[in-house]
Structure 1
Amino acid sequence: MPTKQPSTQPQFPGVTIHESAYVDEPADIGTGTRIWHFTHILPRVRIGQDCNIGQNVMIGPDVILGNRCKIQNNVSLYPGVTLEDGVFCGPSCVFTNVINPRAEIERKHEFRPTLVRQGATIGANATIVCGHVLGEYCLVAAGAVVTRDVPSFALVAGVPARRIGWVSHAGERLGFNLTCPATGRRYREIEPDRLEEDL
């Protein structure tokens, strides 16, 4: 028997939602966004245009995603998480929202915000401890555990995550000349942990 294809729902014109996904209203979803199998969008979530939300993803409530974000399978985005435009979340990466959770103690009033800036990439199975900012176009390696802010363009890896280099807008690792090998864009290190494009 042929499988049913995802369809556009009347309340979300221009949005593709698989029949196995749930979207709790109110929700704001931009045109061109695709939501795949077994995903749950909770109330008061805002998702931008042209996002791709993979299988078995949970978002919300009160979570904001920018335009062109890609969320791979088995990711949960909890209250307090904000993704700017063009963020990539690899399969099974983890966001926390409380520093010291206990099953027997309610700590919803202690949620700490996490901001992921434009163009950042989070690798598969990485953990982002709440209360931190991931800078623009940074790259968090697979399996890393982020316990502090990540500078823009930083390549971080390990447990806990430490900067091991720099990456370009294109996600290419930068050498000593700080020039992207793919695009030729040049960068300069203005402080030990701060990089900017050399315009």
Structure 2
Amino acid sequence: MAEPFIHPTASVDSRAEIGAGTKIWINVQVREGVRIGRDCILSKDVYVDHGVTIGDRCKVQNSVSIYNGVTMEDEVFVGPNACFTNDKVPRANNPEWTVTPTVVRRGASIGANATLVCGIEVGEYAMIAAGSVVTRDVAPFALVMGNPARQVGEVDEAGNRVENRA
């Protein structure tokens, strides 16, 4: 198995677990306690907060922020500048704050500039359109878009829009 590739400008904490064949590119930061699976790609300027889990064969495009509490299963695609949150009621100083988890199931795709508000589950092979703000769970194979994101159709495993998924 191929060793992971870590670009010299990336900052990867020694306590992070990086799978074989994974490529971590320019200016990426991976914090302590992160688990990244095999054969992933983390593109330029990605931030992965402590405790995040990313499955096998995921692709995370430029400038994505993935905060503590996020779990991504295998084969998830995250488009450029997408952002995951982890705080339902953000304040600069809240000593009672706790992480609100988010789960992205196998094969889901998240479009460029999408924002995922914490506490949701994105179903397997779901498709989130670019620029969407996701504030509630997304069903498996659903196509959602808008602010707030609403289901407008269904997709198949390849991401093609379908009339009635059988």
Global fold match (TM > 0.5):
yes
Distance 2:14 2:20 in 1: 16
Distance 2:34 2:21 in 1: 16
2:49 to 60, 74, 79: 60
| Residue in 2 that maps onto 1:196 | none
**Per-residue Cα deviation, 1:124-172 (whole angstroms, up to 9, x for no partner):** 0001000000000000000001010000000000110000000000000
Tell me the TM-score normalised to structure 2 length: 0.96
| Residue in 2 that maps onto 1:72 | 61
Distance 1:16 1:136 in 2: 28
Deviation at 1:105, TM superposition (A): 2.7
1:33 to 22, 31, 43: 22
Cα root mean square deviation, aligned: 1.1
Deviation at 1:106, TM superposition (A): 4.1
SS at match of 1:110: coil
| Residue in 1 that maps onto 2:92 | 103
Identical columns (%): 51
Distance 1:42 1:66 in 2: 16
Amino acid at match of 2:75: G
SS at match of 1:82: strand
SS at match of 1:67: coil
Distance 1:104 1:151 in 2: 34
Tell me the TM-score normalised to structure 1 length: 0.81
Q: Say whether residues 1:134 and 2:122 are aligned partners.
A: yes
Deviation at 1:76, TM superposition (A): 1.1
Q: Say whether residues 1:84 and 2:76 are aligned partners.
A: no
- The structure number with the bigger radius of gyration is 1
Structure 1: where are the runs of 5+ without partners? 1-12, 179-186, 189-199
Amino acid at match of 1:111: V
Structure 2: where are the runs of 5+ without partners? none
Across the two proteins, how many residue pairs are aligned to each other?
A: 165
Q: Post-superposition, which runs of at least 4 consecutive aligned residues in structure 1 deviate over 2 A?
A: 104-107
Deviation at 1:104, TM superposition (A): 3.2
SS at match of 2:147: coil
